[in-house]
Amino acid sequence: MSGFDYDLFVIGGGSGGVRAARVAAGETGAKVALAEMDRYGGTCVIRGCVPKKLMVFASEYAGMPAEARAYGWDIADGAFDWSAFRGRLHAELDRLEGVYRRLLTGSGVETFDARARLRDAHTVELSTGEVKTAKHILIATGGRPVRPDMPNARLGMVSDDLFHMETLPKSILIIGGGYIACEFACILHGLGVEVTQYYRGAQILRGFDEEARGLIADAMKERGIDLHTGTNIVEMRRAAGAHPEDGAGSPEAEGMGTVPVEASQFGAHPEDAPGAGPLRVKATNGKVRDFDAVLFATGRRPNTADMGLEDLGLTLTRGGAVEVDAYSQTKVPSVYAIGDVTDRVNLTPVAIREGMAFVETVFRGNPTPVDHELIPSAVFTQPEMGTVGLTEEAARDREEIDVYCTSFRPMRTAFAERPDRVLMKLIVSKATRKVLGCHIVAPGAGEMIQLAGIAIKMGATKEDFDRTVAVHPTMSEEIVTMRNPVRSA
């Protein structure tokens, strides 16, 4: 090891860091250590994908009794018990964290429950006071949700806070229009919360296919989510009556528009925490409303603060991400970075792939660039969206395309007289006939897009899809039965 304590020191115990550490140690024989300041499993396992998906499952039962009755079952509506679900949720997260710890131990990785920062290109200083050296250092510290820069933003929640609520709010305002905002709008609505959503843009889910996100927006409104686009938050404070000095019952308390910000007692209660009482919110449309809770889903930021990175000569982007090359290497040759901290494609499977490519490059002597092309992904709204490849808008800016698309009421919900619609869409190159993109909005779209992604990654043409026999009766059969384009561009 040329005098170093370790061959590899990994900072961050999320999915990417853990995979890189245990593969390097268990399969290449490297001496590896890993430091994690919080819980093992990172964003995905502890405060992201896993608990969110379990909440998705819980929320989907809301419509089951009514649908079952349409099919002849004598099933009564029930009530959701957040405390019972929350207990099982945290027990499952504890179990998964234990799995991650055992995987590391079983692979021979030495772990430190501590915060780490870089002292130099080969030295890591831990919050315990220990100092460790390594031939290679891998930064895999992930990202975190951020609150907007506005008075009283601390009174609102971010996505991490949702999993720790003692009780469900009766009403919530969600600020944001990205996938996290939309997923939690659907989840909380399904769990019985009155949901209002503000998004400053013209349509939610910016960056996704226009037709697909339009259908999801319509479905969310149809289900009862009070969605307002072109709308943002202007002011927020504790509602009148939450504290005696707020002026409960006074004319000023009835509308913030008549009270100067200085007189509206913003920030008058720094001891308050999210969930301590109703919040009064003024929107850009002039409306003033009270909510039991406010959730900010307005962005995430890489965890790079106070790690000594800039002092070391690493380049950070304006958003604080670590700049790396195609092999995840920074400007400092011994230091690499993977996952959300690099702000490339912020998905758990991508971080894992980046970790594997890092091990292949550094410890197996096989330089392996990370492949970020044609990555399938899903948005767990209700209905779900699955997507891979180019949107219609991006594809037509690049070349001439044919668009194959169908939208219909699926058999299951049509029989139950529900208005739900699904969308199946293929974007096809006119020149090569390759399928450039696939977009599905439907129950189970995440499951469907995984398989479609294989074909598209292999370079399948529209005629390859056409030659595939349909599975009938299914929603997904429409992917292989669309014969004529609905438009060309």
DSSP secondary structure letters along 93-106:
HHHHHHHHHHHHHH
CA distances from 472 to 22, 159, 453, 464, 475 (A): 44, 40, 21, 18, 8
To the question of whether residue 53 is assigned a binding role by annotation, the answer is yes
472 is catalytic: yes
Which pair of structure tokens corresponds to residue 280? Answer: 């009064």
Q: State in words which class domain 377-488 has.
A: alpha beta
* Pairing verdict, β 131-139 and 6-11: parallel
Q: CA–CA separation, 13 vs 363, rounded Å? A: 20
What one-character DSSP code corresponds to residue 379? E
Residue 113 confidence (pLDDT): 98
Angle at 106 between CA 105 and CA 112, to 5 degrees: 10
Per CATH, the number for 6-144+301-364 is: 3.50.50.60
DSSP 8-state symbol, 406: E
Residue 61, annotated ligand binder?
no
Write the DSSP string, 426-480.
Answer: EEEETTT-BEEEEEEEETTHHHHHHHHHHHHHTT-BHHHHHHSPP-SS-SGGGGG
Print pLDDT tens along the chain (489 aa): 469 999 999 999 999 999 999 999 999 999 999 999 999 999 999 999 999 999 999 999 999 999 999 999 999 999 999 999 999 999 999 999 999 999 999 999 999 999 999 999 999 999 999 999 999 999 999 999 999 999 999 999 999 999 999 999 999 999 999 999 999 999 999 999 999 999 999 999 999 999 999 999 999 999 999 999 999 999 999 996 654 333 333 333 334 433 333 333 333 444 455 557 899 999 999 999 999 999 999 999 999 999 999 999 999 999 999 999 999 999 999 999 999 999 999 999 999 999 999 999 999 999 999 999 999 999 999 999 999 999 999 999 999 999 999 999 999 999 999 999 999 999 999 999 999 999 999 999 999 999 999 999 999 999 999 999 999 999 999 999 999 999 999
Q: Convert the pLDDT of each residue in 242-289 to its tens digit.
A: 543 333 333 333 344 333 333 333 334 444 555 578 999 999 999 999
State the pLDDT at residue 198. 98
Residues of the chain with CATH 3.30.390.30: 377-488
Q: Which one of 189, 269, 439, 472 is the catalytic residue?
A: 472
C-alpha pair distances (Å), 2 with each of 5, 11, 121, 260: 9, 21, 15, 66
1.10.287.990, 3.50.50.60, 3.40.50.620, 3.10.450.50: CATH of 148-239+275-297: 3.50.50.60
The reported pLDDT for the residue numbered 70 is: 97
Q: How far apart are CA 386 and CA 409, in angstroms?
A: 18
Task: Please check whether residue 56 is in contact with residue 180, taking contact to mean a CB–CB distance below 8 angstroms.
Answer: no
What pLDDT score was predicted for residue 275?
A: 58
The span from the CA of 399 to the CA of 397, in Å, is: 6
Looking at residue 277, its pLDDT comes to 82
Per-residue model confidence as pLDDT tens digits over 302-332:
999 999 999 999 999 999 999 999 999 999 9
Is 180 flagged in the annotation as binding? yes
Q: Where in the chain is the domain with CATH 3.50.50.60?
A: 6-144+301-364, 148-239+275-297
Residues in the chain: 489
Predicted model pTM: 0.92
Q: Is 299 annotated as a binding residue?
A: yes
**What is the residue whose two structure tokens read 């609102």?**
156
DSSP, residue by residue, 244-292: GGG-TTSGGGG-GGGS-GGGTTTTS-TT--TTSS-EEEEETTS-EEEES
198 is known to lie in a ligand binding site: no
Angle at 324 between CA 320 and CA 325, to 5 degrees: 155
Query: Known binder of ligand: residue 72?
Result: no
pLDDT at 56: 98
- Check whether the bond before 473 is cis (ω within 30° of 0): yes
Tell me the C-alpha distance between 20 and 370, whole Å.
Answer: 14
